[in-house]
């Protein structure tokens, strides 16, 4: 056990001092900070523009666009303030007797008035205007204004006061939305982040483990190490150290994201899916860490064994190709499951080691998974780690002092049976 802790401490310190590790972490922190701060920076520019702008004032005489003639044949529209308040204040309103359709058109064409509204009945309104016409917004206001006035006049004729009629027309219904399902956007994003992080960690730190072992073999340092520490302690120390380095990097990025979220919380409230991501339940965060560790160890031990079979670092790509293909297959299945997380493929693969750390986490985030299935997936991964870890330790013990051309798979199994 002392040998294991010595290897673990040394390897972990090497990872944390590695320039590539530090640069990637710093770049991740900077990118997260910039992305989380963009809404605040945009709001800051908008607020400064708003602060320097002068407050709006009442419509001045020079701002009046023209006059609109109102011809009321019903006797209900006798006050021009009705139109000034209910329609656009950019126009003046003149209530006159009907001068005739020809006279109305002549006054519009000459520019004396902008338009004319003839009210022949509560539900019959005629608008006279030039061929260019008013804006669609003003036309909508005219339609809405006369529709509301028609309803108010009819309600008043049945004994309601104008205030009661207005209260009925302006009353609104408040609808409280209770979401019983899970937000697709938030669960999709957190699932994608988990898959991406696990995939990149496996490729990056798995290759680092294999490269470290192969490098020690190529410079003959392994011959000295193997005399002072057991091969199993060497392999487990390297694998666990790489997993801890990945977890430290992951936790740093998560904490930075949470910190910038709270710093920019006010500006981020308008972006609903970001709000939902950072309001994830604590259980989802726990499952993220659990399946991240399980997924990493499933591959990490195999990468250690693969590294022991290579005599040179140049052989790593060849010997680790099966593991890379397995990782790509797991990624492809996981991305497919994100579109339909309840299909049979996703359910079945959520119990298969090497794939289930991704697919089961997708099911947990995007669907309602029974707890016994989660436990079954966790235990199946632990069993796979123990079995493949034991096999990897055997391969590592045979391969650390094996030089020359990397052996084929049938040769490896033959040597294991002989051992």
Domain shared by 214 and 115, yes or no: no
Domain shared by 120 and 205, yes or no: no
d(CA 271, CA 185): 11
Residue 84 has pLDDT above 60, yes or no: yes
The per-residue pLDDT for 130 is 75
Query: Comparing C-alpha atoms, which of 134, 150, 128 is closest to residue 69?
Result: 128
Identify how many contiguous H helices and E strands the chain contains and give both numbers. Answer: 18, 4
Domain shared by 154 and 253, yes or no: no
The per-residue pLDDT for 375 is 93
**What's CA 6's distance to the chain center, in Å?**
41
Specify the range with the lowest mean pLDDT, choosing from 88-92, 236-240, 401-405, 409-413.
Answer: 401-405
Query: Comparing C-alpha atoms, which of 200, 377, 205 is closest to residue 291?
Result: 377
d(CA 358, CA 338): 10
Q: Which helix (H) or strand (E) holds 4?
A: helix 2-17
Q: Which helix (H) or strand (E) holds 118?
A: strand 115-121
* Residue 372 pLDDT class (50, 70, 90 cuts): very high
The per-residue pLDDT for 56 is 44
d(CA 145, CA 93): 14
Q: Tell me which of 137, 166, 195 is where a domain ends.
A: 166
Range of the domain at 275: 183-418
The per-residue pLDDT for 59 is 42
- Whether this model's pTM surpasses 0.95: no
The per-residue pLDDT for 224 is 65
The mean pLDDT of 337-361, rounded to a whole number, is: 87
d(CA 210, CA 302): 9
Number of structural domains in the chain: 2
**What's CA 28's distance to the chain center, in Å?**
16
Domain shared by 257 and 367, yes or no: yes
Domain shared by 410 and 341, yes or no: yes
The mean pLDDT of 9-23, rounded to a whole number, is: 85
pLDDT per position as a tens digit, 204-231: 777 777 777 777 666 656 556 666 667 7
Q: What is the CATH number of the domain that holds 103?
A: 3.40.190.10
Residue 401 has pLDDT above 60, yes or no: no
* Residue 150 pLDDT class (50, 70, 90 cuts): confident
Query: Comparing C-alpha atoms, which of 156, 180, 183, 181 is closest to residue 167?
Result: 156
Q: Is 48 a domain residue?
A: no
* Residue 415 pLDDT class (50, 70, 90 cuts): low
Q: Is 41 a domain residue?
A: no
Domain shared by 215 and 258, yes or no: yes
* E strands present in 300-375: none
Percent of the chain with pLDDT over 70: 76
d(CA 303, CA 208): 9
Q: Is 174 a domain residue?
A: no
The per-residue pLDDT for 348 is 92
Residue 270 has pLDDT above 70, yes or no: no
Residue 164 has pLDDT above 70, yes or no: yes
Domain shared by 280 and 385, yes or no: yes
Q: Is 379 a domain residue?
A: yes
The per-residue pLDDT for 64 is 53
Q: Is 37 a domain residue?
A: no
Domain shared by 378 and 259, yes or no: yes
Q: Tell me which of 106, 139, 166 is where a domain ends.
A: 166
| Cα distances (Å, whole numbers) of residue 330 to 13, 269, 276, 340 | 31, 35, 27, 16
Please provide the average confidence, as pLDDT, over all residues in the chain.
Answer: 77
The per-residue pLDDT for 58 is 43
Domain shared by 133 and 240, yes or no: no
Q: Is 299 a domain residue?
A: yes
Higher pLDDT, 380 or 242: 380
Domain shared by 343 and 209, yes or no: yes
Domain shared by 373 and 329, yes or no: yes
Q: Cα dihedral sign for 128, 131, 134, 140? A: positive
Domain shared by 298 and 227, yes or no: yes
Q: How many CB atoms lie within 10 A of CB 160?
A: 15
Q: What is the DSSP string of 355-371?
A: THHHHHHHHHHHS---H
Q: Is 38 a domain residue?
A: no
Q: Tell me which of 166, 200, 216 is where a domain ends.
A: 166
Q: Is 325 a domain residue?
A: yes
């Amino acid at each position: 056990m002392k040998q294991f802790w010595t290897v673990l401490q040394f390897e972990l310190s090497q990872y944390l001092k590695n320039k590539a590790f530090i640069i990637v972490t710093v770049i991740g922190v900077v990118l997260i900070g910039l992305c989380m701060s963009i809404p605040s920076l945009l709001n800051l520019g908008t607020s400064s523009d708003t602060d320097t702008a002068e407050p709006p004032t009442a419509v001045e005489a020079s701002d009046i666009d023209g006059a609109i003639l109102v011809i009321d044949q019903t006797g209900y529209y006798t006050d021009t303030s009705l139109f000034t308040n209910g329609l656009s204040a950019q126009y003046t309103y003149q209530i006159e007797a009907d001068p005739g359709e020809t006279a109305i058109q002549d006054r519009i064409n000459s520019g004396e008035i902008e338009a004319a509204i003839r009210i022949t009945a509560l539900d019959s309104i005629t608008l006279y205007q030039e061929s260019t016409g008013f804006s669609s917004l003003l036309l909508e206001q005219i339609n809405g204004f006369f529709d509301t006035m028609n309803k108010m006049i009819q309600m008043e004729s049945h004994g309601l006061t104008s205030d009661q009629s207005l209260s009925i027309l302006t009353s609104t219904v408040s609808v409280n939305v209770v979401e019983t399902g899970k937000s697709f956007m938030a669960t999709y994003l957190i699932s994608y982040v988990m898959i991406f992080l696990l995939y990149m960690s496996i490729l990056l730190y798995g290759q680092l483990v294999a490269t470290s072992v192969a490098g020690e073999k190529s410079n003959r340092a392994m011959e000295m190490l193997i005399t002072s520490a057991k091969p199993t302690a060497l392999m487990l120390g390297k694998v666990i150290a790489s997993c801890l380095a990945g977890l430290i990097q992951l936790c740093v990025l998560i904490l930075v994201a949470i910190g910038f979220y709270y710093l920019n919380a006010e500006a981020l409230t308008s972006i609903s899916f970001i709000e939902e991501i950072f309001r994830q339940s604590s259980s989802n965060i726990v499952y993220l860490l659990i399946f991240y560790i399980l997924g990493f160890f499933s591959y990490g031990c195999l990468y250690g064994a693969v590294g022991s079979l290579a005599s040179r670092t140049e052989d790593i790509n060849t010997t680790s190709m099966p593991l890379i293909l397995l990782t790509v297959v797991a990624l492809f299945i996981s991305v497919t499951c994100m579109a339909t997380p309840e299909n049979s493929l996703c359910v079945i693969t959520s119990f298969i080691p090497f794939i289930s750390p991704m697919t089961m986490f997708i099911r947990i985030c995007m669907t309602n998974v029974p707890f016994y299935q989660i436990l079954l997936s966790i235990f199946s991964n632990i069993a796979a780690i123990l079995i493949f870890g034991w096999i990897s330790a055997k391969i590592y013990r045979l391969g650390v002092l094996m030089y020359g051309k990397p052996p084929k798979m049938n040769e490896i199994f033959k040597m294991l049976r002989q051992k």
